[in-house]
Amino acid sequence: MIVDWFTGIGSDRHLFLLAVFLYGVSMIYSVFLWRKGFRRDDRVNYLLLLGAFTLHSTALFQRGFSLNRCPVNNLFEAMVFFTWATTLAYLVIGLMPRLRFVGAFVSPVLFSVGVFALMPSLDPPHGDKPVFSGGLQSLHAATIMLAYGAFGLCAAAAAMFLTQQHNLKFDKLRAMLSLLPSIERLDKVASRLALVGFVLLTIGLAAGGQIPHKEGVVYWKETKVLWSALLWLMYAVLLFGHWRAAFTGRRFAIGLIGIFVFIVLTFWGTNLLSTLHNP
Amino acid sequence: MSIVVVGLSHRTSPVELRERFAFAEAKIPDALQKLRSEGLATEAVILSTCNRVELYIATPNEPAKATRELKQFFASVHAQAEPNGQELYSLHEPHSVHHLFKVACGLDSMVLGETEILGQLKSAYDLALKSGHTGARLNKAFQRAFNVAKQVRTETNIQRGSISVASVAVELAEKIFSTLEGHEVMVIGAGDTSEKTARALLSRGAKSIVVANRSHDRAEVLAKDLGGRAVKFDDWSREFEKVDIAISSTAAPHHILDRAKLEPLMKLRRNRPLLLIDIAVPRDIDPEVNHLDNVYLYNVDDLQSIADDYLGQRKEEIAKCEAIIEEKARAVVQCDVLREEGSVVRGAWCVNPK
């Protein structure tokens, strides 16, 4: 086993493992940031996640070049792509110094999903034809994963919102000393990311609906389709409620986090039950 | 040649005394000229602010003699009796340079760590420099003082945080709203602190001010003063739909705003964040409203305790500032001693001693 590990040095799984290790370091560092009340500019965490992203990207591209297509062909690849999209989105919005603290909230998600993705059973060797292949499938898988990335990041922004809101109400000095962005800004960032994720999810689901499926499968009764429709509906209700000022502030933030937790907890299970995704 | 300081400050004398010895800006060049023409100083700078009046001079005379003559000058130029020794202090090297650096860093200010004094010190120095009353000694000491003030500002937290109720309120507002631009402020009850807070919010870009007061005349005066508009006291809640920040300081014996009254108003406001600042004692706003989503309530104790905590943190930074000042002041004095002894001193060593 140890020999296998060493012979695998430089492989995409090995590079991804190193990236996940850095996500773990970032998560531990984030605990200290949180305990210190986010008082100093968070460059260290940004650099840690940048380092992880470099390894992560290399792993992703290596897998993609080896397959000659977008590497979203099994659960491992799907999660690698999802976490990569999340990190990329973080690195872009983290260019704004005050939003850099989103990294402290996103790194636990990246680490947990990364560790889960590394389970060997999720990455079976590809046969002649990967589980998901073809242009429409690639579009479907890529947009859905990007949507999950956006949802992950908006859940992190929502967690920041709740932290800052709690401090402003009940731990006032901590709020004053922290460098977290204003809650108005956090609300704006979270709602825009949710909207981007929702649009990507809609495109991804529409593309998925066009993919020819096996005979005998009743599309609208399929587990993953029903799950996706439920997810789409939850985000639609939440965003509509936010626009109509029915879900604002704390309720909106809790809604975003709640739906994302639902995704993380049920994604794998629904995939196992799906005849389309787990033939 | 050594640097001597003689002066009065808020630490040693009351304002009644300081105002008698203050120098009007227009009269400073003449006073500087007089100091030099009478042989009391080779170089001189006069710093005169509301909290201190100080003469900084460079003189070849013995420090004790220079101090005595300066104290006499201080009294005679204002045609006043000489203040006693506790009120009118005098310092000579190395303490004088150390004091100059402390003043520049705001460590000797009434509001610890404030930066206004640095600007005043720069103006005083510029005035003396332009009139040709400074030379190598004071130029170097003052320029080094400005550098030390910058270093202290960047390397310590002595200036971090707001230490007045009004500035804490502004800082809180900026934690809630991305920018204050476009946000309307309501002042309920025209008190002094609420006026100061409203002014501070306006200075940071708040859109406009609405004033409601039991005495409508007073409301109109304040509204005019703040460039806003006055509304009748009984109508304040009708204006609430547009308001994002409300400062309340009425003399009402009961809560004028509670949860039952605010909930429908929040719906009208489409649940936008609302900052409530309750400066009144007894309080105007029921603390229960803080449990409403998107409502942030602060009373005078909250604001004062934040200001006090900040002040406490600034005080904890004093030791760090003192260490920087001590090192830099010693370097300036040692450099000058070496120069006067005729030692070969490399310019760079004096500019940036290690």
State yes or no: pLDDT of B173 exceeds 60.
Answer: yes
List, in sequence order, every beta strand (DSSP E) within B173-309.
184-188, 208-213, 229-232, 243-248, 274-278, 295-299
pLDDT given for residue B344 in this prediction = 53
State yes or no: pLDDT of A26 exceeds 90.
Answer: yes
Question: What distance in Å separates residue B312's CA from the closest CA in chain A?
Answer: 12
Q: Which residues pair with B54 in a beta bridge?
A: B7, B47
Contact A184 B176 (CB under 8 A): yes
Within 8 A by CB and 6+ apart from A242, the residues are A191, A248, A252
Contact B294 A249 (CB under 8 A): yes
Relative to beta strand B2-9, strand B89-92 is antiparallel
Rg (CA), chain A: 19
Whole-angstrom distance, CA of residue B165 vs CA of residue B304 = 6
Q: Which of A168, A249, A250 has its CB closest to that of B175?
A: A168
Among A66, A81, A73, A87, smallest CA distance to A23 is for A87
Query: Taking CB atoms and an 8 Å cutoff, what residues of chain B touch A177?
Result: 161
Within 8 A by CB and 6+ apart from A207, the residues are A136, A139, A140, A143
**Is B50 among the residues known to form the active site?**
yes
Q: Is the CB of B354 inside 8 Å of chain A's CB atoms? A: no
Q: Is the CB of B302 inside 8 Å of chain A's CB atoms? A: yes
Query: Taking CB atoms and an 8 Å cutoff, what residues of chain B touch A175?
Result: 172, 175
B209 near B228, Cβ under 8 Å?
Answer: yes
CA angle B196, B201, B207 (to 5 degrees): 130
Q: Give the confidence band of B55 by pLDDT, cuts at 50, 70, 90.
A: very high
Query: Taking CB atoms and an 8 Å cutoff, what residues of chain A touch B307?
Result: none
B210 near B187, Cβ under 8 Å?
Answer: yes
Query: What are the tens digits of pLDDT across the range B58-76?
Result: 988 888 888 888 888 888 8
Whole-angstrom distance, CA of residue A114 vs CA of residue A81 = 10
What mean pLDDT is predicted for residues B299-328? 87
- For A106, A153, A187, A228, B125, the CA distances from A238, given in Å and listed in that order, are 21, 16, 13, 15, 62
State yes or no: pLDDT of A2 exceeds 70.
Answer: no
Round to the nearest angstrom and report the end-to-end CA distance of chain A.
30
Contact A176 B306 (CB under 8 A): yes
Q: Is the CB of B171 inside 8 Å of chain A's CB atoms? A: yes
Question: What distance in Å separates residue B222's CA from the closest CA in chain A?
Answer: 30
Q: What is the ipTM of this complex?
A: 0.76
Min mean pLDDT across A89-93, A158-162, A271-275 is at: A271-275
Residue type, B232: K
In the block, tokens 């389970």 appear at A119
What mean pLDDT is predicted for residues B249-261? 91
What mean pLDDT is predicted for residues A62-75? 79
In the block, tokens 């999810």 appear at A201
State yes or no: pLDDT of A206 exceeds 80.
Answer: yes
pLDDT given for residue A52 in this prediction = 96
Query: Taking CB atoms and an 8 Å cutoff, what residues of chain A touch B174?
Result: 182
- Looking at chain B, which residue has its C-alpha nearest residue A169? B296
Buried-exposed string A79-99: b where 16+ CB fall within 10 A, e elsewhere: bbbbbbbbbebbbebbeeebb
Whole-angstrom distance, CA of residue A43 vs CA of residue A51 = 12
- Looking at chain A, which residue has its C-alpha nearest residue B295? A169
Query: What are the tens digits of pLDDT across the range A113-161?
Result: 888 888 777 777 765 555 555 677 778 888 888 898 889 889 989 999 9
Q: Which residues of chain A approach chain B closer than 8 Å at the C-beta?
A: 164, 168-169, 172-173, 175-177, 181-185, 188, 245, 248-251
pTM over 0.80: no
Question: What distance in Å separates residue B176's CA from the closest CA in chain A?
Answer: 5
Report the C-alpha dihedral over residues B126, B127, B132, B135, rounded to 10 degrees. Answer: -50
Q: Kindly state the tokens that stand for B193.
A: 């602190």
Q: Kindly state the tokens that stand for A110.
A: 């990246």
Query: Taking CB atoms and an 8 Å cutoff, what residues of chain B touch A96?
Result: none
Q: Kindly state the tokens that stand for B99.
A: 């004091």
Contact B175 A248 (CB under 8 A): no
Round to the nearest angstrom and report the end-to-end CA distance of chain B.
24
Contact A184 B270 (CB under 8 A): no
Question: What distance in Å separates residue B306's CA from the closest CA in chain A?
Answer: 6
Q: Does residue B341 or residue B253 have the better pLDDT?
A: B253
Among B223, B226, B9, B208, smallest CA distance to B102 is for B9
B80 near B157, Cβ under 8 Å?
Answer: no
Contact A245 B296 (CB under 8 A): no
Contact B177 A177 (CB under 8 A): no
pLDDT given for residue B129 in this prediction = 93
Omega within 30 of 0 (cis) for the link into B60: no
Among B161, B159, B292, B248, smallest CA distance to A175 is for B161
Q: Give the confidence band of A79 by pLDDT, cuts at 50, 70, 90.
A: confident
Q: Give the confidence band of B349 by pLDDT, cuts at 50, 70, 90.
A: very low
- For B136, B151, B337, B347, the CA distances from B353, given in Å and listed in that order, are 17, 14, 14, 10
pLDDT given for residue A18 in this prediction = 94
Q: How is chain A split among helix, strand and coil, in percent rounded to 5?
A: 80, 0, 20
Other C-beta atoms within 10 Å of A69: how many? Answer: 17
Q: Which of B161, B271, B309 has its CB closest to that of A245?
A: B271
Q: Catalytic: which of B50, B321, B335, B350?
A: B50
Q: Kindly state the tokens that stand for A219.
A: 């599309």
Within 8 A by CB and 6+ apart from A258, the residues are none
Q: Is the CB of B305 inside 8 Å of chain A's CB atoms? A: yes
SS3 category, A38: coil
Contact B175 A245 (CB under 8 A): no
**Cα dihedral sign, B244-B245-B251-B254:** positive
**Cα dihedral sign, A113-A114-A117-A123:** positive
pLDDT given for residue B86 in this prediction = 78
State yes or no: pLDDT of B288 exceeds 80.
Answer: yes
Q: Which of A176, A249, A251 has its CB closest to that of B175?
A: A176
Query: Taking CB atoms and an 8 Å cutoff, what residues of chain A touch B273?
Result: 183-184, 249
pLDDT given for residue B306 in this prediction = 86
Give the mutation candidate from A165, A182, A244 for the B interface (greatest B CB count, under 10 A).
A182
What mean pLDDT is predicted for residues B197-223? 90
Can you state the angle between helices B28-37 and B116-130, rounded to 10 degrees?
60
Residue type, B247: I
What mean pLDDT is predicted for residues B113-142? 90
- Looking at chain A, which residue has its C-alpha nearest residue B171? A176
Query: What are the tens digits of pLDDT across the range B339-348?
Result: 666 655 544 4
Relative to beta strand B208-213, strand B184-188 is parallel
Q: Which of A177, A182, A250 has its CB closest to that of B176?
A: A182
Query: What are the tens digits of pLDDT across the range A218-241?
Result: 777 788 889 999 999 999 999 999
What mean pLDDT is predicted for residues A31-45? 78
State yes or no: pLDDT of B171 exceeds 80.
Answer: yes
Query: Taking CB atoms and an 8 Å cutoff, what residues of chain A touch B290?
Result: 169
Q: Kindly state the tokens that stand for B63.
A: 């420090």
Whole-angstrom distance, CA of residue B39 vs CA of residue B55 = 15
pLDDT given for residue A223 in this prediction = 87
Chain A, chain B: beta-carbon pairs less than 8 Å apart: 54
pLDDT given for residue B353 in this prediction = 42
Q: Is the CB of B135 inside 8 Å of chain A's CB atoms? A: no
